[in-house]
Structure 1
Amino acid sequence: MAHMEAIENFEAARKCLQTSLEKSTAIASALDESGSRLELLNQRFRSLEDATSVQKCSLVDIGDHIDTVLCSAAAVLKVFEAVHELEESFLAHPTCDLCTYISNTKKLEEALKLLTDNSRLVLGWLHGVFEFLLDKTITNERCVLNVRKSLRILQELKVMEEGARGDGGLLTSAFDRLETEFHRLLMENTLPDSVTHKLQAIVERLHANHRLDKCKSIYVEVRGMNARKCAESIDLSYLEMPTAEFEDLHVIGSYIDQWGQHLELAVKHLLEIEYKLCSNVFEKIGQETWMECFAKIAIDTGILSFLQFGSNVAASKNDPIKLLKLLDIFRVLDGLRLKFNQLFNGKACEEIRIVTKDLVNGVVNGAGEIFWQLPAQVKLLRPSSPPTDGSVPRVVSFVTDYCNQLLGDTYRPHLTQVLKIHISWRKEVYEEGIVFTQIYNIIKEIAVNLDAWSKAYEDITLSCLFMMNNHCHFYNLRGTAVGNLMGDSWLRAHEEYKDYYAALYLRNSWENLVPILVVRKDLLSSSVTAQDFVQRLNAFNVAFDERYKKQSNWAISDEVLRENICKHLVEGIVPTYRAYVKNYSLSIENDAKHIKYSAQILENMIRSLFQPKLSKYGRIKQTDLIGKLKYASKQFRSTLNAL
């Protein structure tokens, strides 16, 4: 049943459409015919004017001319009737049959233009004919009838002329409805590919009648609103952060990855769609028009806010971390370079291009300036003091990790590209390997700093521990980008220095502790008194406590090195101590008050030395790591600012 009803509805719609098309065709034919007749009228009336002006024509000839004028006036009336017939088609909304509606709108335009061009002219002709006939004494019945007919037509034309203004209002109303339909189609179709041909037809019709500005405003308003909604679906609040907050790159840096992802999303999955849609909808109007619409939509989407965020990073204080962040920004911009060139190449996008160019300049110049100054930054750290615990200075760890990042696959290609651009802007020639040379100079300056810092310790033992720690740190760079750059001989040298300073530390600090407990074999007899055992044990306790107290605040960062040092101390001290305590216990029965530590406790105390500072849960605090990074970066930045 429902199927039959659907077929009947479809058949009714088909017949309605066919009738509408036939009617439109008939009206079009009438307009064409009227136009031809009016042109013929124009030619004949010139001869009528000539005849009446010199009054050389016969009344019969004049009558023929009058007949021509009256016929042409009737043609004008026929056009008026066609206009009124079109009125009916404009009572329906364009939604019903947009193609027919637009076609009828075009016919109405042509009809009104024809009337505008000819109705006043015909009225003038009829006035002339009427006055001419009134001036003559006419007894010819045919002429009298023509006079009366001209009078009636004159009156009807006056009424029709006034109605033409009203029909002009009808055309305006039709355009208003087309604009409303344009707005509806855009609102109801988030991705209006399926209705693009309808949008194009409306745009073309409105453009032909000087109503394109309103059409563009509607388009930008609706598509801009759609773009903003898409942008608002993700959190972009960081784009509006105060400029002052950009000075802490450890905070702002966490947003740069988001920024890159969001910018790529906005360009490739939002603006590119809007670009293609603008091009399709306004294709027949011209590139300048649709590029103007697209530029406004792009700005509504927030593209300038994205670019300003990058510019704020580039304008912040110089910091080694800033170099990495600038390279992150450059990587994003370079990846989107072709898209930017495609989307923003028109005159209407000039503001976007200018802001983008300023951002690229800030990124390239900022990154280049920081990179060239890195060795000098390290050198300026030389007067600073080394760590009190003899560990690897935070700035040394920071710089080596930093250099590894610069040499890694993530940053080195973009750093190389940035330097090539920066050098070309300075009219200089880029030399291959310049990145490696600069990193080599940085590491060389660190080595010189370590020699200077080691001399700042008053305790030679702590100085040895410090050098042992740092040579171990450099040896552990084997397999990293920096280690590969510096080479095997450099790494082996640091391994040898590490072992050398480890032996020197053990000898200077702990070697004279064990002899306190050693009793020559020839004295192990009854001649050795209990008092001798007690004195030696007390002396050992004092010496051990002194070393343990002082070195309990020292640190060995590398776990393997720390375990090896503790192992050497345990193997060198504990067996001798255990044997001495055993002999003491045999010699002095039931007197353990002088035995301060058991052998196991002594071993545990030794193994607890040189540990990194722990939280209450036994792990290195994350805040401590962040603090170290901030401190090292701050040291580095302060030297950069001093340059």
Structure 2
Amino acid sequence: MGDCKSVAPGLEGEENLIAAAQHIVKALGSNKNLTDDVRKILVDLGTQLSTITIADENKSEGVNEIEDRLVAAQDKVMSWEADQCMVWDSGPEEAAEYLKAVEEVRKLTEVLESLCLNKDSEGDELLRRAYDVLQTAMARLEEEFRYLLFQNRQPFEPEHMSFRSNDEDVVDEGSIISFEDDPVEDSLQTDSISRSSEDYIIHLVHPEVIPDLKSIANLMLSSNYDQECSQAYISVRKDALDECLSILEMEKLSIEDVLKMEWAGLNSKIRRWVRAMKIFVRVYLASEKWLSDQVFGEVGSVSSACFVEASRASIFQLLNFGEAIVIGPHKPEKLMRILDMYEVLADLLPDIDGIYQEDIGSSVRTECREVLGGLGDCVRATFLEFENAIASNTSTNPFAGGGIHPLTRYVMNYIKILTDYSNTINLLFEDHDRADPGSLSSNTSPVTEEENKSGSSSCSTPTGLHFRALISVLECNLEDKSKLYRDVALQHLFLMNNIHYMTEKVKNSELRDVFGDEWIRKHNWKFQQHAMNYERASWSSILLLLKEEGIQNSNSNSPSKTVLKDRLRSFNVAFEELYKSQTAWLIPDSQLRDELQISTSLKVVQAYRTFVGRHNPHISDKHIKYSPDDLQNFLLDLFEGSPKSLPNTHRR
């Protein structure tokens, strides 16, 4: 307000003072002895006194006009205080008139505040009345604002975004099997969630009421009721965000709650979190930011503050879940899920930075980066824990039949799925390996020049090096497990089966690019060596019985019938024992089984056929228990995993 001059004591008012001053000036001005300068000063003073008189008269007229305008606006505002209905339920015309009345009151308060008024004057009383009406109107507008926001919320339906899936709550059995359980081929599965999606802006509030919300917000803010308006907005939208998380089935869980959960339930929660994060940030938060900008767009700082305050609790609820996963135990079955969490949060980081770009949103940006960094550390720790779990997986009993051990299946399926995350694993291990070279297993061999030339350069990436380290640890473990078999032939069969399985998994999948062709050639040679060693351990002693050495009589060139009979009897007994034991042995891969059966048949049946054919004149038919064709058919029964016995009868 402008400067106000105090009234001189003893005078009855401004009007009397001004009239007296004018009278004095007039009297002095009639004095003929005054100089021209003094006379000019008196003329100017008279003019100013006349102006004050006119202004005072206009002022009185202005106050009267303000009072008339205030009364009209007050009647409109107060008429709704006795009505239980909402103004905006009465139609757009009534709402527009109400806003116009409130705007009138706001302008009148500004006019009254600008006037130079004396205490207890009529204008000052009008200002107090205007304040009271404005406060009443603001309370009503806050209520209407809250009502419009709540009543016009649009239902959030994520189904059209492929959020729900039929198998969402199915326990991922492959993720919780132990290494000693019966394996399930390709049991470890990743989610089919897309790793890229378009941003969506949906109407969280019916578009028709946005102009009304904006009008109310602008009026409340211009009336210095920004705090009341902001709190009303934050309260309603915070509840809407909580409801969104409920629809996305993200319940509020403390860190302690998450740490206490069994893996089956936690697995489902993580999968749901991965889906919910992308929808919540890219769809819901983006739309929420857009809504606040529409309502408070003309006052950007208020818009940002309202959005951040409304959404902070809900985004922190999601990030707290990630924090709980980070500080939980680093169990190997969690690795794929943690990688899913890392990738989706890393993918969403630019979106989060864009949505919370102002200083007021810095706490959200910081928390996101901290959780992301924690998830990265958790991936590395869990990967190394997986390697330790392979190394420490011990058995007291040999695996029945010498087939493919569950540990081998689990590890190979595990790393096969991990190839989907190769880029992320490279990123997470690259700097870490450079800083800590000892993080790689001592069992892994360096990448040779041949491997770099023959295979993809992927074999020298952090992913390739760490996968090779895992396989080296697995091979050492399998070597130890093979020693549990008493039969040397079965030791080699076991190693042949498992190394062949590993090699085929690498050769026929994306792992080929990771390991390289040289690794495949080396391991092809390994399992073939074990196949040859199996043949030697199984059949060498039997084939010795079909050798010519020691058959001839010492006093003639003819074979000894007694020796021939003993040789055949020993051969039959040895073959029957081997048949009984090796039909219980297992080669799961049909092609590998056929190849080993053919290789064995070529050696054994051919040697038997030659032996029997050469000495047939000296051997009675009753001593030839099996024909070469019988043996060939019997060999086809081997490695089926079902123990059989040969009939204990002689050929007629």
The yes-or-no answer on 1:220 pairing with 2:220 is no
Query: Structure 1 CA distance, aligned partners of 2:252 and 2:5?
Result: 75
Structure 1: any 5+ residue segments left out of the alignment? 1-34, 125-156, 589-593, 614-643
Point out which structure has higher relative CO (alpha carbons under 8 A, 6+ apart): 1
Q: How far off is 1:247 after superposition?
A: 6.6
Q: How far off is 1:201 after superposition?
A: 2.3
The yes-or-no answer on 1:266 pairing with 2:266 is no
Q: Name the counterpart of 2:641.
A: 611
Q: Name the counterpart of 2:138.
A: 175
TM-score by length of 1: 0.65
Q: From the superposition, tell whether residues 96 and 326 of structure 1 become closer, same or farther in structure 2 (CA, over 3 Å).
A: same
Q: Name the counterpart of 2:376.
A: 364
Aligned partner of 1:110 among 95, 107, 114: 107
TM-score by length of 2: 0.64
Deviations 1:550-601 (A, max 9, x none): 4455332323223444556678889979x99xx9xx978xxxxx9999x989
Q: Name the counterpart of 1:635.
A: none
The aligned runs of 1:284-303 (5 Å cut-off) are 284-287=298-301, 289-300=302-313, 302-303=314-315
Q: Name the counterpart of 1:555.
A: 586
Identity of aligned residues (%): 20
The aligned runs of 1:528-567 (5 Å cut-off) are 543=574, 546-566=577-597
1:560 partner amino acid: Q
Query: Structure 1 CA distance, aligned partners of 2:568 and 2:269?
Result: 62
The yes-or-no answer on 1:206 pairing with 2:223 is no
Instruction: Give the conservation status (yes or no) of the 8 Å contact 2:252–2:317.
Output: no
The aligned runs of 1:551-590 (5 Å cut-off) are 551-566=582-597
2:241 partner amino acid: A
Q: Name the counterpart of 2:507.
A: 478
Q: How far off is 1:114 after superposition?
A: 4.0
Which moves more between the two structures, 419-428 or 187-196? 419-428
Q: How far off is 1:282 after superposition?
A: 1.6
The aligned runs of 1:303-452 (5 Å cut-off) are 303-371=315-383, 387=399, 389-406=401-418, 408=419, 410-420=420-430, 422=432, 433-452=461-480
Aligned partner of 2:531 among 476, 483, 502: 502
Q: From the superposition, tell whether residues 175 and 573 of structure 1 become closer, same or farther in structure 2 (CA, over 3 Å).
A: same
Q: From the superposition, tell whether residues 251 and 109 of structure 1 become closer, same or farther in structure 2 (CA, over 3 Å).
A: closer
Q: From the superposition, tell whether residues 68 and 377 of structure 1 become closer, same or farther in structure 2 (CA, over 3 Å).
A: closer
The yes-or-no answer on 1:188 pairing with 2:152 is yes
The aligned runs of 1:120-131 (5 Å cut-off) are 121=118
Q: How far off is 1:275 after superposition?
A: 0.8
Instruction: Give the conservation status (yes or no) of the 8 Å contact 1:282–1:290.
Output: yes
Instruction: Give the conservation status (yes or no) of the 8 Å contact 2:601–2:635.
Output: no
Partner of 1:210, secondary structure, is coil
Query: Structure 1 CA distance, aligned partners of 2:436 and 2:573?
Result: 67
Query: Structure 1 CA distance, aligned partners of 2:55 and 2:331?
Result: 92
The yes-or-no answer on 1:277 pairing with 2:307 is no
State the Cα RMSD in Å: 5.2
Instruction: Give the conservation status (yes or no) of the 8 Å contact 1:464–1:504.
Output: yes
Q: From the superposition, tell whether residues 447 and 201 of structure 1 become closer, same or farther in structure 2 (CA, over 3 Å).
A: same
1:205 partner amino acid: L
Partner of 2:304, secondary structure, is helix
Partner of 1:498, secondary structure, is helix
Q: Name the counterpart of 1:15.
A: none
Partner of 2:318, secondary structure, is helix
Q: From the superposition, tell whether residues 565 and 331 of structure 1 become closer, same or farther in structure 2 (CA, over 3 Å).
A: same
Q: How far off is 1:513 after superposition?
A: 5.8
Partner of 2:63, secondary structure, is helix
Query: Structure 2 CA distance, aligned partners of 1:425 and 1:515?
Result: 59
Q: How far off is 1:270 after superposition?
A: 0.4
Equivalent residue pairs, number: 520
2:64 partner amino acid: L
Q: Name the counterpart of 2:258.
A: 243
Query: Structure 2 CA distance, aligned partners of 1:482 and 1:74?
Result: 92
1:505 partner amino acid: Y
Q: How far off is 1:166 after superposition?
A: 4.8
Q: How far off is 1:265 after superposition?
A: 0.5
Instruction: Give the conservation status (yes or no) of the 8 Å contact 2:586–2:640.
Output: yes
Aligned partner of 1:73 among 48, 60, 64: 60
Deviations 1:514-563 (A, max 9, x none): 898999999xxxx999xx99x99997776555435544553323232234
Deviations 1:393-422 (A, max 9, x none): 43334334444444x2x2111111223464
Q: How far off is 1:318 after superposition?
A: 2.5
Which moves more between the two structures, 89-98 or 456-465? 89-98
Q: How far off is 1:334 after superposition?
A: 1.7
Deviations 1:306-339 (A, max 9, x none): 2222222222222344443332222111211110
Q: From the superposition, tell whether residues 82 and 478 of structure 1 become closer, same or farther in structure 2 (CA, over 3 Å).
A: closer
Q: How far off is 1:365 after superposition?
A: 1.9
Deviations 1:602-631 (A, max 9, x none): 957962644399xxxxxxxxxxxxxxxxxx
Q: From the superposition, tell whether residues 389 and 79 of structure 1 become closer, same or farther in structure 2 (CA, over 3 Å).
A: same
Query: Structure 2 CA distance, aligned partners of 1:253 and 1:71?
Result: 80
2:376 partner amino acid: V
Q: Name the counterpart of 1:144.
A: none
Greater percentage in helix = 1
1:506 partner amino acid: E
Partner of 1:313, secondary structure, is helix
Structure 2: any 5+ residue segments left out of the alignment? 27-45, 81-86, 155-202, 439-456, 554-559, 644-652
Q: How far off is 1:274 after superposition?
A: 0.5
Q: From the superposition, tell whether residues 488 and 401 of structure 1 become closer, same or farther in structure 2 (CA, over 3 Å).
A: same
Aligned partner of 2:248 among 234, 254, 273: 234
Query: Structure 2 CA distance, aligned partners of 1:96 and 1:218?
Result: 24
